[in-house]
Amino acid sequence: MSEATDAAKPAEPQPQQTVQDALNQLSTLKIYTHSPILYWWPIWVLGFVFGFVSMFVGGEGTEAAARVQGQTFVFVLVFVIFSTTVKLRGANSVILGLILLIGGILLATANLSGPIASFIGGLDIRMSQSFYWFVGTSVFIMWAVMIFGFDKVKFYEIAPGQVRERVFWGSGDRAESGANARCKYLKDDFLRHRILGLVVTGDIEITLGDGEVWYLHNVLFAKEKAHRINELIVTRPVD
């Protein structure tokens, strides 16, 4: 009876098979980088919103409402241009914050904050409904073509023990060993990554074993993907 019971017991899985099964479950990570136009979404959003609002706003207060919309649009546009052209990481963002804070204190001490606010609030900046629709539509088309089109042409694949640079069409694919490679999530650019990127974008730096560095800019969910990359590149496939 005991012999029959022993014969019915399944064979113990081999450690080699267990490791191989675990490796098979490690899916390849595909990463896309994006152009700086990724952060221009507030422009087409405001263009559509203000264009839609302008269709229904009328009567008394129309000029005041148009002035507020124009001021808001221009200030957001200037902020987006500044944020996408000037990189402020780490200490640089702290320095900018201190400059703005000290400047605000000095203006308040000199009783200039009130006149400056009144001057800015009194700026007569007005755009037509056609302007908002044209700018919003134009920027949205460029944004969509880049994000969902050209940004997909080149991408990166991270497999167990290997990093690959892929090109959707043409030649130029590369495959490098993950041995001695390391991945680092770069410190947030406060304006781009935390404000315009809504805290989900970031940059990734991959240093290969021979010292070559790959920079992956404007990656969605960069922090989580950097952690995943480090898990994959240290994994070695089993023959």
Burial class (CB in 10 A: 0-12, 13-18, 19+), 132: buried
User: Is the Cβ–Cβ distance between 89 and 186 less than 8 Å?
Assistant: yes
Domains in the chain and their CATH numbers? 13-38+150-233 (2.30.29.30), 39-148 (no CATH)
Residue-level pLDDT at 29 = 93
Q: Which of 15-24, 28-37, 50-59, 138-147 has the lowest mean pLDDT?
A: 15-24
| Averaged confidence pLDDT in the chain | 85
- HEC-encoded secondary structure of 125-174: CCCCHHHHHHHHHHHHHHHHHHHHCHHHCEEEEEECCEEEEEECCCCCCE
**Mean pLDDT score, 216-221:** 95
Q: Which of 9-13, 116-120, 193-197, 208-212 has the lowest mean pLDDT?
A: 9-13
Return the structure tokens found at 11: 């064979």
Percent of the chain with pLDDT over 90: 48
Sheet holding 201-207, edge to edge: 182-185, 201-207, 213-220
Q: What is the pLDDT of residues 145-201, one digit of tens each?
A: 999 999 999 999 999 889 999 998 766 788 898 888 999 998 778 889 989 999 899
Q: For residue 45, give the amino acid letter.
A: V
State which of 124-133, 139-148, 168-177, 205-214 shows the largest mean pLDDT. Answer: 139-148
Residues 221-230: tens digit of each pLDDT: 999 999 999 9
